[in-house]
Structure 1
Amino acid sequence: MASVPTGDAMRRAISLAARGLGTTSPNPVVGCVLLDTAGEIVGEGFHAYAGGPHAEVVALAQAGERARGGTAVVTLEPCDHTGRTGPCSAALVHAGVRRVVIAVADPDPVAAGGADTLRAAGVEVVFGPYAAEAEAGNIVWLTAVRRQRPYLVWKYAATLDGRSAAADGTSMWITSEAARSDVHALRGAVDAVLVGVGTVLADDPRLTVRDIGDGSLAVRQPLRVVVDSAGRTPTDARVRDAAATTWIATTAAVGSGPDGRVDLARLLTELYRRGVRSALLEGGPRLAGAFLAAGLVDRVVGYLAPRLLGAGPAALEDAGVGTIAEAIDLELADAERVGPDLKIVAYPRQRED
């Protein structure tokens, strides 16, 4: 077998890491490739689920003695702490690995320090190859840890003229079954789903993950969060059923902002403390506007149906924009057909002061 360049090994590690998306939270996704002294791949692995073996441990188990004197190529700095598993830095040292190539440094102060431990043991450590690609693959977790709040995705559905409901308030269904199935996949990849109490009172949603997979595997249900300043969520609301855990976030529990409503920044901080690293904001237009005005939205996913209403509620209400110069600019990342609908993914641009 021919030797593998380090860059090719890192690209492979990044693709391995992606296999853990949606199942590792509150941990990151990580991929690892082990090369022997001749540069041949002798082990590879990824972190599959929280509490399970880390990518480096999986790869070392495959490699066995062939890892001794070799190189570990890993997408994230090996952890240096003992949690539900032991430190990967120690495992690499014990296996006799002589060189470790790392794409991205670990920003978590609890787990960071692996590179220093490796160097102290005489292991060569190299940072940087394919850092941008590795960062993009782990952007949700990295953003959450760096900001100490969940990575927030705002999802909305609207007609082409931007209406989220008809003039009489009816909104089921604006988009197609294909789009709704895609939304369930989005829910299945996050730790929490957020709505305002207005959405609960108007639509009585369940906010659970359904209609994904073939039913052979258990679906991880995200935490359901109702932003409900005054505690108006009915006792018989479907979000209170036993299908998933629910938190009714009131001002009494979270704290209030200047407007007397739930302080949204504090809400996200509390969710992070509870282990939430990613959240999907599903409704309604007033709550979405408040999150956008506060600069707390990291990604926008819009489903546009090829329909026109001409009247009815808009998909977004006051977002703190008073003039065109204050518009929230988005960077368009993707656009694709989902059934008859158009799915758009975009990222708010950072405003320059």
Structure 2
Amino acid sequence: MIRTTNFNAGPAALPLEVLQKAKDEFLDFNGAGMSVMELSHRSKEYDAVHQHAKALLKELMEIPEDYEVLFLQGGASLQFSMIPMNFLSKEKTAHFVMTGSWSEKALAEAKLFGNTSIIATSETDTYRYIPCISEVPSGGAYLHLTSNNTIFGTQWQQFPDCSIPIVADMSSDILSRPIDVSKFGIIYAGAQKNLGPSGVTVVILKKELLSQENEQVAKILKYSTHVKADSLYNTPPTFAIYMLSLVLEWLKEQGGLSAIAQRNRKKAEMLYKAIDDSHGFYRGHARTDSRSNMNVTFTLTNDELTKSFITKAKQENMVGLGGHRSIGGCRASIYNAVSIEDCEKLASFMKHFRESV
């Protein structure tokens, strides 16, 4: 079988080694005589998977002891609601940095629960850059930001310092580079880009925030409920968590976050060079100082060329290169599991396509 070169934005590519190991263990996990999907989430066999995934995540991200790690469901979209539901009220203000569609959705949900404020935005320039923050007001409930923007291809290069908790949606670049977890109050991420398959959401939460939870929230939507139950209050997405543990094992084998960050920079530089050397044939959407190492977005001179580019790329066994419907053009999502060779193949195709028209 020839593997397709997968540039989809999510669900996205998974490491081949992970898929092969999951295949080998699919029918009989560790001698249990059944698949990991069939194990009781209360069994000692599954508990070992659960704890292994937590321990690996803490190790790779160097998560401090005063943080909880949760495996939840509902994707980042549920976190858009669950965070203000628990930590915002009509007496408090949550501050937002607007860098794209996901921050817009997070803001819309927060408005249902309390006061909100936009302290910086790049909306008027089609979210081409990460805006500068001159000052974060003190006394707010939290500052919300999206660390990487899949649709527009922008990424925070440096996170702000402020006196209130920073809440970060890291769905599309978690584990792609080292970060200082202690700068954040809450980090949340849907798994389907760098962590594993869709179905599980990782939440990293500073313990001291639990004392600030709104008591008037349904039990299943309170973080303290899931902390007390070790993410087992209801049946968790056991297979997705198992796959997450395999991805984390693979990431550790690659040399951890410093090594993967170096590889991700190399991959991105390769594609941005193909854009910059094209004399305007390809035009990057993101401003150069805000370019993402996860999602490379670009346009061609017209829609017909774009369609031809995507069609011919598919003929070369490369898929997922269409841009988001809101801005069009093209997008190569080059998450951790996308190899250097995959990016070399795309960069070479971009050059040959440009020369052929």
TM-score (norm 1): 0.25
Larger Rg: 1
Q: Judging by fraction of residues, say which structure has more strand.
A: 1
Q: Judging by fraction of residues, say which structure has more helix.
A: 2
TM-score (norm 2): 0.24
Q: Larger relative CO (CA 8 A, sep 6+): 1 or 2?
A: 2
